[in-house]
Amino acid sequence: MRDLKPLRPGDWGILCLGGLLVAWLMAAGPGGGDRVVVKQAGRVFLEASPRLNRMVAVPGPLGETQIEIRDGRVRVAADPSPRQLCVRQGWIRPGEAAVCLPNRVSVEWGQARYDSLNY
Amino acid sequence: MTASTIKFPASAEDRRIAALAAVGVGLTVAEAAIPLPVPGIKPGLANIITLVVLYRYGVGAAVWVSLLRIVAGALVLGTFLTPTFVLSLSGGVVSLAVLVLAARLPRAWFGPVGLSLLAAFAHIATQLWVVDLWLMPGLSIMGWLPVFLGAAWLTGLANGLVAARMLRDRPASAPAAAHAPLMRGPL
């Protein structure tokens, strides 16, 4: 076998394509989602559009968690949990989720999954 | 006491595969001790062994060494048959399949670095898919996709370069020294 360079033309191709893919994904940001998904005890409590401003009260074992949807953003406005972790997280960035563990409520961005019920 | 009639004759190739898998297990255990910021991201050093074996001893040996390493590594780490093991095995099997196919690519164009990158991408893509489908369905992990793919790109490149270096320093011309040829390598 003759001496070959560690990086051959095809390797450079794979390397550049992979790098481009990663760079593109990072630039596009977390594609996030176009739906707000609120779960209570692991079950979907509400799936809503982020464009409709509203306050949602989610009942949990400790009390009500208030979720605010405003101008395409979503946050946990109030929660009865002792450490207030999910409230202090503020507006949830696309791709992220806020979990109020003591009250078993989670808010996350999701993709719309169209099925016959959506229409 | 009568002598056992059951015998397990081990050929030289069996011993070689076992020795190489053992090196992989050692690397798996060693990297399990490294604290990492995000769960699921690790260097995958054992893949260096898989690549070197693939180039030096062929596809069959690479499949054996890799699967033995996954099972034995899980036994050593105590993750056998846990979700961690399922992730490890599924990622391993798919990246092996990709390696088997990629090994047929022309050698003048594609070397260990390209194969390593392809294997790394196949590995993480499979694991994300399994997590999304089976482990945590509904939890949106796709926001982490650039992070995971970026890590795969980096570790795939690094492991490929190490494998290329090892293959260059110790070409496959000395089958007599085939027992544990990696022990005296750069590792």
Q: How far is A85 from chain B (nearest CA, A)?
A: 19
Whether residue A60 is contained in a domain is answered as yes
Question: Largest Cα–Cα distance of chain A, in whole Å?
Answer: 73
User: What is the CATH classification number for the domain harbouring B158?
Assistant: 1.10.1760
Instruction: Decide if B43 is inside a domain.
Output: yes
Residue in B113, B144, B147, B173 to test binding to A, most A beta-carbons within 10 Å: B113
CATH code, domain carrying A88: 2.60.320.10
With cut-offs at 50, 70 and 90, classify the pLDDT of residue A35: confident
Sheet holding A54-59, edge to edge: A54-59, A64-70, A73-78
**How confident is the model over A21-39, as a mean pLDDT?**
76
What is the predicted pLDDT for the residue at B93?
96
pLDDT on residue B162: 94
- What would the mean pLDDT of A15-36 be, rounded to a whole number? 79
The mean per-residue pLDDT over the stretch B9-37 comes to: 90
Does residue B58 sit within a domain? yes
Residue B7 lies in a domain: no
Residues of B in contact with A6 (CB under 8 A): 111-113, 161, 164-165, 168
Residue B120 lies in a domain: yes
Q: In this structure, is residue A11 part of a structural domain?
A: no
Residues A90-108: pLDDT tens digits?
Answer: 888 877 788 888 888 888 8
Average pLDDT score over chain B? 85
- pLDDT at residue B63 in the model: 95
User: What ipTM does this complex have?
Assistant: 0.77
Pair B123, B43: CB distance under 8 Å: no
User: Which is nearest to B167 in space by CA: B100, B112, B102, B115?
Assistant: B112
Check CB contact of A33 with chain B, cutoff 8 Å.
Answer: yes
Residue among B108, B140, B149 whose CB faces A95 most closely: B140
Closest-approach residue (CA) in chain B for A11: B114
Instruction: Identify whether B167 is part of a domain.
Output: yes
Most confident of A7-11, A12-16, A109-113: A12-16
Identity of the residue in B114, B143, B150 whose CB atom sits nearest the CB atom of A22: B150
Residues, chain A: 119
Mean pLDDT of B25-50: 87
Q: Is the predicted pLDDT of residue B179 greater than 80, yes or no?
A: no
Q: Is A59 on the interface with B (CB under 8 A)?
A: no
Which chain B residues are within 8 Å of A111, Cβ to Cβ?
140
Worst-scoring range by mean pLDDT, A29-38, A64-73, B90-99, B172-181? B172-181
The pLDDT confidence band at residue B20, using thresholds 50, 70 and 90, is: very high
What is the pLDDT, as a whole number, of residue A7? 86
Q: Does B160 touch chain A (CB under 8 A)?
A: yes
Residues of B in contact with A95 (CB under 8 A): 140, 142-144
User: Average pLDDT over chain A, rounded to whole?
Assistant: 82
Interchain contact, A6 vs B150, CB within 8 Å:
no
In a domain, B176, yes or no: no
Q: Which of A1, A6, A97 sits opposite B161 (nearest CB)?
A: A6
In-domain check, residue A71:
yes
pLDDT digits (tens, 9 = 90+) for B141-176: 666 788 899 999 999 999 999 999 999 887 665 444
Give the range of the structural domain holding residue A46, as residue numbers without chain letter: 35-118
Is A7 domain-assigned? no
Q: Which domain range does residue B60 map to?
A: 14-30+39-171
Asked if residue A14 belongs to a domain, the reply is: no
Report how many domains make up chain A.
Answer: 1
**pLDDT score for B184:** 42
CA distance A75 to A91: 5
In a domain, A13, yes or no: no
Does B178 have pLDDT greater than 50? no
Tell me the helices (H) and strands (E) count for chain A, helix number first. Answer: 2, 7
Residue in B closest to A29 by C-alpha = B143
Residue B50 lies in a domain: yes
Please state the domain count of chain B: 1
The strand pairing partners of A108, in sequence order, are A37, A97
Partners of A73 in the β-ladder = A70
Per-residue model confidence (pLDDT) at position B142: 65
In a domain, B2, yes or no: no
Task: Give the strand pairing for A105-110 and A35-40.
Answer: antiparallel
